[in-house]
Structure 1
Amino acid sequence: MSDTQTMIENRPPSVAHLFLERVAATPDAEAYRYPVPPASGEGPSDWASLTWAQAAERVERIAAGLIGLGIEPEQRVALASATRVEWILVDLGIMCAGAATTTVYPSTNTSESAFILADSDSRVVFAEDATQLAKVRENRAELPGLHHVVVLDDEGVTADAADPDGWLLTLADLEKRGEEHLATHPEAIKERVEAITKDQLATLIYTSGTTGRPKGVRLPHECWSYMAKAIKATGMVLEEDVQYLWLPLAHVFGKVLTSGHIEVGHVTAVDGRVDQIIVNLPVVRPTYMAAVPRIFEKVYNGVAAKAREGGDAKYKIFQWAAGIAREYAKTSQDNFRRTGTATVPFGLRTKHAVADRLVYGKIREAMGGRLRAAISGSAALAPEIGFFFAGAGVHILEGYGLTESSAASFVNPGEAYRTGTVGKPLPGTEVRIAEDGEILLRGPGIMAGYHGLPEKTAEVLEPDGWFHTGDIGELSVDGYLRITDRKKDIIKTSGGKYIAPAEVEGRFKAICPYVSNILVHGGDRNFCSALISLDEDALLAWAKENGLDGKPYEEIVADAKTVEMVDGYVRELNEGLQRWETVKKFRLLPRDLDIEHGELTPSLKIKRPVVEREYGYLLDEMYAGAREA
């Protein structure tokens, strides 16, 4: 048995065990950095730190406070908050109390929040602020099992005469109760952690889903302890690393990063404010971070738009440098695959050095200047955008997983990464491709099932442990996986041709620097069409140069000049497609798609049925008079 196999198979039952081991091993090492308002009250945030020992003190108080409230092992405790250091401390406190965390996105509407809290039978909910508290209060009558609400940020929170006695607490109140409980029961946390078993429920994550009510995914403790050990076994994350963590921790992708962090013991800087990413990167100077493709697309579009603002000469330099970056990345990756050395011809290397001075170096500095790798997941990254960043020295390692597989089933391996693939399976995870192309997974990261839905569980989880992902993919002879589409998203035209819309959409994102979202439609139709929304920041910069300055977004997208501009990119897209894949017609949407209108999931994936229903009138308009099957 290899050292890796031994490490994974002999792992402790839970991340709570790993956390206590980490604290004992490196108590004085820095664990977390987090933003605090500046002393002056103005300007950018200052950053404070917690050592592992300091984090443990708070975690133990939170855990003991929950025990003091009567929380028993496996009972659910909900956490409705954006990403912040308190999210992690509370989640660890819930784990160390032996309870199970129910994650709730702060963007979840009142009705769906109530459904999640009721379906999970959560006994306590940690609400980030007054906004999240209001959602709970509005549905209090429907939640008889909810005994307490603990507010993380009590600014603006006021008592309500309708609140039952002791129902509302602040985080400080809970920690004080925990301190009192520990004074009389000093071994309480140790005893709870020692009693945790690997198959005990640790986390209940409700899939945002693209249709219907969300399903609660039951992830036992062994999923997270396995992920922690498997991440360390890849050798990609090092003890000297600094991670910048902004992803939603209610999402499985963000959650798995906290497990790996505890096992490896590096520093994590936590700030979930998406509008602060560009501000924070030069301050935090991370060596690695994880993101969803939309972030890389926005960075790419922003760089392209800024170059265009600088005039024709600067934009031509950018376009030249982008082409060199892609050629350099493709050549070096091809040579590495064949020979094990990422060599490139002298001429290309010389051009690349010039482009690096003019363009790439500025991109790396904007991302902190030390970024060794960026991990991309949750949705497909357009390969051409991936090749651009790879050639610019920002190495994006695509990974793959689902909520049902604890997020990280595949990841690209360091220097041997291949853009356009999601890499190889983590140690301990098995994969096979079914006859219809569906990806099947088996291993310690797979869920126990859907909460209260045995029939739904049986549809995707076979008795021998194989999980049906619903994704279509291809495995190379040396084990790299390429995702081609969602099984249910493959469309068939009325002419009998099959099309993977995600592939067409990804190509367009790499071609058009103004696109935000695109949905290709064509199932049972005699040609493909597209609904396209544009990136507002990039579009407004373009509008200044085209006589549309000062107009609102909706007027700009309706203008004939904008339609003509996008049409040029659609024609360019079609040149590289099979005839039946080409987009014959398109419509620009009057606003961008967003989470608030229910068109995007919290991980920024398009909810196709929602968008097609909402903009059905535009689809009908494009197919009016067309012969249908």
Structure 2
Amino acid sequence: MSETTITKTTLTELIENSPKLGKLKHKLSKFKKGSNEYFAALFSDLVLSKSSDFKAYLKQQSVPLPGTDHVKGYSAIYRNSLSPEKLVSAIDSSLDTGYKMFSRAVEIYGDNDCLGERVYDQVTGKWSDYYVWESYRQVQQRSRNLGAGIISLVNTSRGRPLDTADFIVSIMSTNRKEWILTDLACQTFGLANTALYTTLGEETSEYILNLTESPVLVLQSSNLLKVLSYLPNLKHVTTLISMDELSDAELKNLNENFLNGVKLFNMTQVESIGSLLKVDPIPPTPESLYTISFTSGTTGMPKGVELSHEHLASAVSFAKTNFDLSTAEMSKSKQHYELCFLPLAHIFQRQITSISLSSGFGCGFMHIPDPSCLTECLRILKPTFLAVVPRILTKMESGIKNSLNNDEVSVITKNIAHNILDAKLSRFQSRGGPDDSFINSLLYHKVLIDKIRTQLGFDNLEFMVIGSAPVSNETLMFMRSCLDVGIKQGYGLTETFAGLCISETYERDVGSCGGPGVSCEIRLKSVPSMGYDAEKELKGEIQTRGPQSVVRYYKNPDATKSAIDKSGWFSTGDIGYIDNKGRLHIIDRVKNFFKLAQGEYIAPEKIENSYLSNCPEITQIFIHGNSLETFLVAIVGVDPGALLETLTKYYGVKAKGLSPEEMVNKINSDTSLRVKVLVLLNRHVPKLQGFEKIHNLHLGIEPLKIDDGNITPSFKVKRNSCAKFFKEEITNMYKEGSLIRSNKL
């Protein structure tokens, strides 16, 4: 097979032609191909690994293509073992765009709950303890009206025909129902969109709006004041649409006194205009631009990743073939639900929500965009699955461990809980698959597991998906054990419309990101400067290609040329290796490492994740070191209550009358207390080598903030920014020296 050959197919064609998927083909043969009944049956059982010889698949999840192992400096090309000859670009030729997928979902699941929110009671001043839903049919009608209104208003202001779909719609909002309505409106009328994080600074927001020449900005009212401050610098914006209902007086005042010719509308007004005009939909094609997703990169201005409807369709196909959720006979009382928690401006959440909206799932939103309200909303919604990033998983892990070790819990109860968790861990380490034993369902669940699940709102949870950054194996196994739930770890980037590799749900040997999905191929490139040999050791920089992979960056030919070669291979910047089962493991980052003075290489993300997953007292950490120093220092965010409890337990430390801030300041100013904290933290990470452990630290209560530019909206540490922001603290720690060596710890 030629190194440059890619042949595309659809899932339905793959099922029809692959001997490995004969069971699924036979099941579908009972229905007329292309009918709603056919697709309902398909969606109910589309995990391809389970539709084949599952044991054989687990042993060989991807395979090297014959004749592709001869290129110097590269590994062979690997593809999913269930589709080695062709790459999947859509579920079916009739489902090759976002518009077609949602339209089919409306036909099949029209009365299902679609978008839900909690409502605020003006009388009681409280948010409802239930979700209010709009059905798939209602959402479809509203999004069509909204799209017709947007395209009419924008084209009228530009003097263009009403059906001209050549502009980009910008969205600036936290996750909410109106965000999805706007996205669906764009899909209906072939309009591309771009999402701006609400935490973006003025300079970056201006840059994106001017680069895209977007004439319309759909935003929540809380962002209006910020946008008004730089509206005169926006060269192309003619229309603002508020997701929140503004009074007639507010609209009149803003339009007449502050907008200088730019028109502001309520979203409901735009929907009313669209319902009156009844502009026919303008369906996109697979090649149509779906969205420009600006990366929340850790340096410089963000790059705009062009993602087409083919990218969307292939990304949905990838996820549908891997998510262990049954939609068979899914009635309104037996429906799957997802909490739309991660930012929709992040491509990971857009992939997850696209799965929900093409599968008849209910998509609920938080009433306040605050992670501290996550558990409250989970308890009400009780989702079937949840997508999280490592930071959220480690915080859950810390919370569970703190609860189990609380002094108010009796010694007997603690022993029972730890015995159960040890038994669960031993079982999952010895064999894969869900735990179907009687002792698990009759004893472990009733005594411990169901209580933990109920506390977190995980009563109905079937599995979790984790992505965006690496997470430790210890965290994965602990969370799987105490929740008795499968956790799938995925790998992907903005440039691949999120996940393109994902692990099996209940694998015994956790830690991999699974094999490549059916919609991509991967290979490894040697990185001699870091000692990685792709040809001999199957270790190197991950490259990917196929229907899910980026073709170009928006108006940025230099970035395109730098990241994508002439054969279409996209260089991810991540270092990985492929094991003997054909699974990908992420082990490093091409540029994200540094040397200490003694010549030791440091991978900071690995160290940070180790501390986060093993130390329940900490919530954030930024590791710093350089080639002029012999040890590492850290800026550490702590949970004051958990830290005080641990210090009291081991050292009898008291903080009577001190606020959390005062307690943290007291520790920072008292070397002996910081030594105690350091001892406790380093005791939790015995697997780290001595030079990988932190030797000095500065504490804070959430020191890393998005608003300060120290972390991205997806919680990745911006190392250069942190080094500048905490320059004084870092200088002082190195001036003070190693607390480990000076105290002979």
TM-score normalised according to structure 1 size: 0.89
RMSD: 2.9
Question: 2-side partners of 1:574 and 1:416: how far apart?
Answer: 24
- The match for 1:2 among 11, 14, 23 is 14
Matching residue of 2:363: 268
Q: Out of 131-140 and 359-368, give the one that drifted further.
A: 359-368
Matches within 5 A, 1:185-334: 185=279, 188-189=280-281, 192-193=282-283, 196-239=284-327, 240-271=335-366, 273=369, 274-311=371-408, 313=410, 318=414, 321=417, 325=421, 328-329=424-425, 331-334=427-430
Q: CA deviation at 1:76?
A: 1.0
Post-superposition offset of 1:9: 6.5
- Offset at 1:461? 1.2
The alignment partner of 2:576 has SS state of strand
The residue number in structure 1 matching 2:106 is 23
1:610 maps to 721
Aligned counterparts of 2:181 and 2:245: Cα–Cα separation in 1 = 17
Q: Structure 1 CA distance, aligned partners of 2:397 and 2:674?
A: 22
| Alignment check: 8 A CA contact 2:147 2:274 kept | yes
Secondary structure at the counterpart of residue 119 of structure 1: helix
User: What is the CA–CA distance in structure 2 between the aligned matches of 1:519 and 1:167, rounded to whole Å?
Assistant: 44
Map of 1:362-377 to 2, 5 A cutoff?
A: 362-368=451-457, 369-377=459-467
Q: What is the SS of the residue equivalent to 1:86?
A: helix
Tell me the distance in 2 between the aligned counterparts of 1:562 and 1:278. Answer: 33
SS in 2 for 1:21: helix
Q: Output the CA distance in 1 between the equivalents of 2:311 and 2:597.
A: 43
- Determine if the alignment matches structure 1 residue 527 to structure 2 residue 600: no
Task: Note the residue ranges of structure 1 that are not aligned, 5 or more in a row.
Answer: none
Is contact 1:430-1:443 (8 Å) kept? yes
Q: Residues 552 and 485 from structure 1, CA distance in 2 versus in 1: closer, same or farther, beyond 3 angstroms?
A: farther
Q: How does 1:392-411 map to 2 (within 5 A)?
A: 392=482, 393-411=484-502
Q: Is the 8 A contact 1:330 1:387 kept in 2?
A: no
Q: 1:69 aligns with which of 138, 142, 153?
A: 153
Tell me the SS of whatever aligns to 1:409.
strand
Counterparts of 2:617 and 2:290, CA distance in 1:
42
Out of 37-46 and 114-123, give the one that drifted further.
37-46
Preserved contact between residue 487 and residue 506 of structure 2 (Cα < 8 Å)? no
Larger radius of gyration: 2
SS of residue in 1 equivalent to 2:695: strand
Q: Is 1:482 matched up with 2:585?
A: yes
Question: Partner of 1:491 in structure 2?
Answer: 594
Aligned to 1:593: 704
| 1:112-167 residue CA offsets vs partner (Å, 9 max, x unmatched) | 222221122111000111x3111221111111210100000135855321324561
Post-superposition offset of 1:624? 3.4
Q: Which residue identity lines up with residue 273 of structure 2 in the other structure?
A: R
Per-residue deviation at 1:79?
0.5
Name the counterpart of 1:556. Answer: 663
Letter matched to residue 133 of structure 2: S
Is the Cα–Cα contact under 8 Å of residues 127 and 149 in structure 1 kept in the other structure? yes
Structure 1's 305 and 328: CA in aligned 2 closer, same or farther, altered over 3 A?
Answer: closer
1:462 to 1:326, Cα distance in 2 relative to 1, 3 A: farther
The residue number in structure 1 matching 2:560 is 457
CA distance 1:440–1:137, shift in 2 (3 Å): same
Alpha-carbon contact 1:543-1:556 (below 8 Å) kept:
no
Tell me how many residue pairs correspond in the alignment: 610
Distance 1:450 1:412, change over 3 A: same
Give the secondary-structure state (helix, strand or coil) at the position aligned to 1:575: coil
> Deviations along 1:468-487, whole A, 9 cap, x unmatched?
11111122211222212322
- Partner Cα distance (2:89, 2:268) in 1: 42
Greater RCO (CA < 8 Å, at least 6 residues apart): 2
Aligned partners of 2:644 and 2:194: how far apart in 1? 40
Are residues 1:124 and 2:228 paired?
Answer: no
CA contact (8 A) 2:237 2:262 kept: no
CA drift of 1:350 comes to 6.8
**Residue 594 and residue 359 in structure 1: after superposition, are their counterparts in 2 closer, same or farther (change >3 A)?**
farther
| AA at the equivalent of 2:215 | R
Q: Which residue identity does 1:567 align to in structure 2?
A: L
C-alpha distance in structure 2 between counterparts of 1:565 and 1:163, whole Å? 57
Kindly state the Cα deviation for residue 587 of structure 1 after the two structures are TM-superposed: 3.0
**Larger mean Cα displacement after TM superposition, 473-482 or 555-564:** 555-564
> For 1:90, which of 182, 190, 205 is the aligned residue?
182
User: C-alpha displacement at 1:359, in angstroms?
Assistant: 3.8
2:141 aligned partner: 57
* Residue-by-residue CA offset, 1:514-562 (whole Å, 9 max, x unaligned): 1111222233132333322213453466688742144233332232475
TM-aligned CA distance change 1:94 to 1:549, over 3 Å: farther
Structure-2 separation of matches of 1:84 and 1:536: 32
Q: 1:146 corresponds to which residue?
A: 237
Query: What stretches of structure 2 of length at least 5 have no aligned partner?
Result: 1-12, 16-47, 49-87, 156-163, 328-334, 528-539, 739-745
Letter in 2 for 1:251: H
Contact kept? 1:532, 1:587, Cα under 8 Å: yes
Q: Distance in 2 between matches of 1:371 and 1:318?
A: 25
Asked if 2 retains the 8 angstrom alpha-carbon contact of 1:515 and 1:534, the reply is: yes
Tell me, in whole angstroms, the C-alpha distance in 2 between the residues paired with 1:543 and 1:37. Answer: 41
1:47/1:540 CA distance change after superposition, 3 Å: farther
The one of 450, 466, 469 equivalent to 1:361 is 450
Of 583-592 and 256-265, more deviation after overlay is shown by 583-592
For residues 622 and 88 of structure 1, do their structure 2 counterparts lie closer, same or farther at Cα, with a shift above 3 Å needed? same
Distance, in Å, in 1 between the alignment partners of 2:363 and 2:406 is 36
Counterpart of 1:605, as a letter, is K
| 1:278-326 Cα deviation digits (max 9, x unpaired) | 1122221111111112222222222333344434745x95588458636
Q: Check 1:420–1:135 CA distance in 2 against 1; reply closer, same or farther (3 A cut).
A: same
**TM-aligned CA distance change 1:434 to 1:523, over 3 Å:** farther
Structure 1 counterpart of 2:235, one-letter code: P
Measure the CA separation in 1 of the matches of 2:414 and 2:272: 57
SS of equivalent to 1:139: helix
- Say if 2:126 is the partner of 1:43: yes
C-alpha deviations, 1:24-82, integer Å up to 9, x for none? 33322322222222475443424211111111110100110112124543411110011
CA gap 1:615/1:583 in 2 versus in 1, 3 angstroms: same
Aligned position for 1:171: 267
What SS is found at the alignment partner of 1:586?
A: strand
- Structure 1 residues 353, 535: closer, same or farther in 2, change over 3 A? farther
Aligned partner letter, 1:611: C
CA distance change for structure 1 residues 363 and 108 in 2, over 3 Å: closer, same or farther? same
Larger mean Cα displacement after TM superposition, 269-278 or 457-466:
269-278
**Conservation of the 8 A alpha-carbon contact between 1:326 and 1:384:** no
C-alpha distance 96-626 of structure 1, shift in aligned 2 (>3 A): same
SS in 1 for 2:519: coil
C-alpha distance in 2 between matches for 1:269 and 1:417: 32
Q: Distance in 1 between matches of 2:416 and 2:389?
A: 26
Paired with 1:21 and 1:351, the residues of 2 have a C-alpha distance of: 40
